[in-house]
Every structure is written in structure tokens, then in C-alpha cells.
Amino acid sequence: MTFAQRDLSPALAAVRETHAPTALVRDADRDFETLPSARAEELGLLVDALDPLSYPESWLPPDAPEVLVRYASDEFTVGAPGDGGVAWTRQTDPPVVLVKPRLEGSPDAFVDFLVAEALVQVGLDVPEHFLGFFEARYLDLADAARDHLDPVETYQLAAALYEASLGVHTRDVFAGWEADHPDLFDAWVDAGERLEPRLSGLPNDLATGGTEFGDAAELACAAIKHGIEPPTPFGALDAPAYREYGADYAVQWAETTFDRLG
């Protein structure tokens, strides 16, 4: 696997300088969800140091998906299912943003926004995966969802909830690009507008079983980062309290939501 230097537009170069000035932006020559350890270690040729993450096994329920068990281990992995077309890591020094070939053919403005979003996230003091966000409280989330979601669907929900948390931290940055980086701002707005028709029917789709809960969570939580109010029961995540209380708030929301579902 190779990682070629990606040419950045002036707007992207400015975003990197503001939020993650040391970050490397590279094009991966193959698609991936989780970069295999041997491939991830090839990033060592590009950076000064590697510092792989690992998490306590005690944070995981016994039925956790294998991909999550692998991520928690001391194996050096980058990326996870649900990351989309761009992944980033601070397990390297300097950090690395990887653009996947699946984005080929997508509008340039949209791809630039995804890269800019990753650079903003790299610059935040946040984990690069939901397990680092929930920590031991992932057990409580899994317990709250147990009667309604299987372990893979719980993984999907956790990823969506973390995406919402990132969204409440980043959307003000995106909104502030209107004057300085209008193309990135327009791409952010356009992506949000494309979500709105699907959001309007989401409560009914959930009630009738037309949409699975995890899929609905992904859609609604994506809306938050675009400054769009998500429908019930996800609207409570679009709150200053989520930004302040993080995983504790997410778990409380899940407990309340699933209690109401019966």
C-alpha cells in the first residue's frame, strides 16, 4: 500500500495551518475500513514516530464485535468501519489524514470539505474512535441497548453518537468559513441540505420499521454537524449539555430513549 502526498487547495492549506499545521495529508492507493497492522506500520516511513493506542479489555462487553476487540488491542490499527472516505490518526507524529480511493468521482468541493473536517478534528483534543470517547461507559451503552440492538448495531449507534459529539464541537468552525473559505462553506451547506429530505420522514420510518435504529442514528447524528436539527428522539443530542458532558450525556440519552421504546 502506498500513501502519496495530496496536493491541497489554498483553502485546505489554510485550514491545515490553523487547525493541524503539522498534519500530513496522503492519498491511500487502496480502500480500507481498518488499515491492516502491517499496512498501518508502513506509515512509519512517513512520520517521526508511532505511538499505537490500546484500551482495557474491561471496557468491552463479552459480545463486542471482533473489529472492536481488535481496535482495543495493542495491535496498531488505523481507521474503523463507519469512517467514510477520509480517516485520520494521531497515533503518528505528526498526525496523518488519509484520503481513500472510494472518493474518486465525488465532487472536488465535497472531498475538500471531508479533508477539511478531518483536519479540524485532528486539531481538537478528542479521541479518534468512539471507544476512546465512551471508555468504560461503553458497557453502559451496550447494556442500555441490549434488548433492542445486537452488538454490531450497538457499535453502529456508538459511532453515530460520537459523530454527533464531534459535530457539536466542529459545526461553529464550519459555519465560520462563509467569509474566508466560501467553497468549503458551500460544500458543508450542500451536504446538509441533501440530508434534509431523508430526515423529515425519519420518525415515521422508525415507528413502522422502515429504517433500523442504527441507520436512523447515523443519519440524524450526521445532521448535527451540519447545523440541522435532528428529529425525535435524536433532537436531545443537539444540545450544549452534550458538548459539556460527553459520554455521560450520550449514555443517559440512550437509557431514556430505549426505556421509552419499551
- The per-residue pLDDT for 34 is 87
Which secondary structure element, helix H or strand E, spans residue 92, and what is its range? strand 92-93
- The per-residue pLDDT for 156 is 96
The answer on pLDDT for 17 being more than 80 is yes
Q: How far apart, in whole angstroms, are the C-alpha atoms of residue 96 and residue 98?
A: 6
Q: How far apart, in whole angstroms, are the C-alpha atoms of residue 147 and residue 216?
A: 17
C-alpha closest to that of 171 among 112, 227, 239: 227
pLDDT (tens digit per residue) in 133-156: 999 999 999 999 999 999 999 999
Residue 202 CA to its chain's centroid (Å): 21
Residue appearing with cell numbers 473489529: 67
The answer on pLDDT for 76 being more than 80 is yes
Q: Which residue has the higher pLDDT, 11 or 210?
A: 11
154 to 64, 139, 213: CA distances (angstroms): 9, 10, 10
- The per-residue pLDDT for 48 is 95
Interval 22-45 mean pLDDT: 89
The answer on pLDDT for 38 being more than 90 is no
The answer on pLDDT for 165 being more than 90 is yes
Give the alpha-carbon dihedral of 60, 64, 68, 72, to 10 degrees.
Answer: 30
Alpha helices in 124-150 (DSSP H): 130-134, 138-145
Q: Decide: 115 and 85 in contact? Cβ < 8 Å.
A: no
- The per-residue pLDDT for 35 is 84
The pLDDT confidence band at residue 74, using thresholds 50, 70 and 90, is confident
- 157: Cβ contacts below 8 Å, ≥ 6 apart: 141, 145, 149, 213, 214, 217, 254
Interval 181-202 mean pLDDT: 94
- The per-residue pLDDT for 83 is 86
